[in-house]
Amino acid sequence: MSEESLSDLAEHVQENTGGAVISYELDKGELVLNAKRESIEPLLQYLRDDRECYFKTLIDLCGVDFPDREERFEVVYLLLSVSLNQRIRVKVSTTEDIAVPSVTDVYSAAGWYEREAWDLYGIMFDGNPDLRRILTDYGFEGHPLRKDFPLTGYVELRYDNELKRVVYEPVKLTQDFRRFDFLSPWEGLTDMQLPGDEKVVKPAYGYRDVHKEVLASEKKAGGAK
């Protein structure tokens, strides 16, 4: 759809949803609606049923974490209208303490998507009939896609041959975290320097300037002729 058509669609939705849409924007040829959290269910129902929308399919529902914001989480709904061949995104914001209304009554597929957002971000959904973890293991603590969750996690698991079951243990790192410089793989050589090693300090002993040696060899061979 053209930008003009998308803007007309956004204004149509704004006029007919009782202030549910706070604002809209066009991003990469797609309409994005910023909506009120408490109005998300009736808004999506309108987008599903209105003749100028017909967004019958919920493609995805996901969370996004912005730790510096007052309401750190965004919930993004990706909708598809097959009959009209168009897509739309709807966004609402929330905190870790305020639940977003579940939209399982509008799109049955939202049930598992909301469980995933709860599991990975800790976003709560009021009205979800089965809000429990779906990707992490039983007994997992925390929400691994939050920006403040450590990359190593808090626990690790292994199979214990004596207990004949999987056991959880605190994470144990075998070495300190180090930063590796992969610019040149030849830094261990001391008897010669190759292109790309210019950043390395020349060793006091055993250094050979290969480029000069090649020039000298070519000059000597030319003189012999």
The reply to whether 156 falls in a domain is: no
Is residue 141 located within the same domain as residue 189? Answer: no
CB count in 10 Å sphere of residue 77: 26
Is residue 120 located within the same domain as residue 214? Answer: no
pLDDT (mean) for 68-88? 95
The beta strand positions in 141-196, using DSSP E, are 155-160, 165-170
pLDDT (mean) for 152-166? 87
**pTM score, whole prediction:** 0.73
Residue type for 188, please? G
Is residue 72 located within the same domain as residue 142? Answer: yes
Total domains in the fold of the chain: 2
Write down the pLDDT at residue 203.
60
Is residue 62 located within the same domain as residue 131? Answer: yes
Write down the pLDDT at residue 151.
82
Is residue 20 located within the same domain as residue 80? Answer: yes
The reply to whether 55 falls in a domain is: yes
Is residue 140 located within the same domain as residue 201? Answer: no
The reply to whether 157 falls in a domain is: no
The reply to whether 134 falls in a domain is: yes
Is residue 138 located within the same domain as residue 195? Answer: no
What distance in Å separates the CA atoms of residue 214 and residue 225, rounded to the nearest whole number? 17
CB count in 10 Å sphere of residue 99: 17
CB count in 10 Å sphere of residue 1: 16
Is residue 122 located within the same domain as residue 192? Answer: no
Write the CA distances from 124 to 58, 102, 129, 199, 221, integer angstroms.
19, 9, 12, 52, 79
The reply to whether 158 falls in a domain is: no
Higher pLDDT, 14 or 190: 14
pLDDT at 52 over 90: yes
Is residue 55 located within the same domain as residue 135? Answer: yes
Is residue 184 located within the same domain as residue 138? Answer: no
What lies within 8 Å, CB to CB, of 139 at 6+ separation is 168
Domain that holds residue 107: 3-147
Is residue 25 located within the same domain as residue 104? Answer: yes
- Find out whether 2 and 36 touch, Cβ atoms under 8 Å: no
